[in-house]
Amino acid sequence: PDVIIEAQFDDNDADHGQDHLQDTLADDVKKLSLDTGEKGDGVHRTKQDDGPKVNDPRLLPDKFLQRTAKVVYILEKKHSRAATGFIKLLADKNSELFRRCAMFSPVDHRVPRAYVSLADCPPDFVTRPEDYSNMLFICRIVDWKEDSNFATGQLAKSLGQAGEIEPETEGILTEYGVDFSDFSPEALECLPQSLPWVISPGEMDKRRDLR
């Protein structure tokens, strides 16, 4: 690249003559010249020179390059696509989208906001949205189009008031895909039926007590 040198001088410089000013500029040029591996060949390159150009990334060392990649396939979806959050009306009341969708805002900010159908919302949500401002909902993300800033979701169920233990716990378990449904009768039959149940002395002798 071209190097532009600015020099400031006063009357004292003028007394030393033009030769002193040229020497000063030459020293500045040497300080700003690029180290190309050849002495004296850092500043005097011209546009006709066929030598290496610093703006060609193929000529730069690997340590100066930022490698990039492109996702081509998703092997496995690790997230449950379920999130706990709140629903609210869209800001633009005159839009066509306002009459069809509501906005779901997840509590976990790593999950994107999503449009949900008003048909999945409570019947009086549009007329009384303030009644649901503190109500937790479970939403599952079903799609996210490339040209949309928000995902598309489907409300699964209403959990209850935010801040209460049961709704908050159920929301966390649902987000992480934990099955917290009741055990089946077949599973319960595997447990001891005669209560209270105690460990027999014979079992205690051959087991390590980790209580």
Does pLDDT of 1 surpass 50? Answer: no
Query: Is 44 part of any domain?
Result: no
> What is the per-residue pLDDT across 159-193, written as a single tens digit (0 to 9) for each?
988 888 998 999 999 888 888 889 999 999 999 88
Q: What is the mean pLDDT of residues 5-15?
A: 53
Q: For residue 153, report the phi and psi dihedrals to the nearest 5 degrees.
A: -125, 170
Looking at 68-72, 78-82, 83-87, 106-110, which range is the least confident one?
78-82
SS3 assignment, position 61: coil
CA distance 140 to 157: 10
The residue type at 73? Y
DSSP output for 169-185: HHHHHHHTT---SPPPH
The β-bridge relationship of strands 114-117 and 151-161 is parallel
Residue 210 has pLDDT above 60, yes or no: yes
CB neighbours (10 Å) of residue 66?
5
Residue 88's alpha-carbon distances to 64, 151, 178, in angstroms, are 47, 15, 27
Contact predicate 83/106, CB 8 Å: yes
140 vs 155: CA distance, rounded Å: 6
Bridge partner list, 102: 116
pLDDT at 40: 47
Residue type, 58: R
Q: Is residue 30 part of a domain?
A: no
Residue 160 lies in a domain: yes
Hey, is 190 helix, strand or coil?
coil
Rounded CA gap, 202 and 76, in Å? 47
Specify if 200 maps to a domain. no
- Residues found in the chain: 211
pLDDT digits (tens, 9 = 90+) for 36-55: 444 444 445 555 455 445 57
In whole angstroms, what is the distance from residue 200 CA to residue 113 CA?
Answer: 55
Q: Which residue has the tokens 């396939």?
A: 73
Residue 144 lies in a domain: yes
Is residue 14 situated within a structural domain?
Answer: no
pTM value is 0.55
Total count of domains within the chain: 1
Q: CA nearest 32: which of 1, 63, 56, 55? A: 1
Assigned domain for 166 exists: yes
CATH number of domain containing 151:
2.40.50.700
Q: Is residue 203 a part of any domain in this protein?
A: no
Higher pLDDT, 43 or 121: 121
Residue with tokens 């990649």: 69
Domain that holds residue 144: 82-176
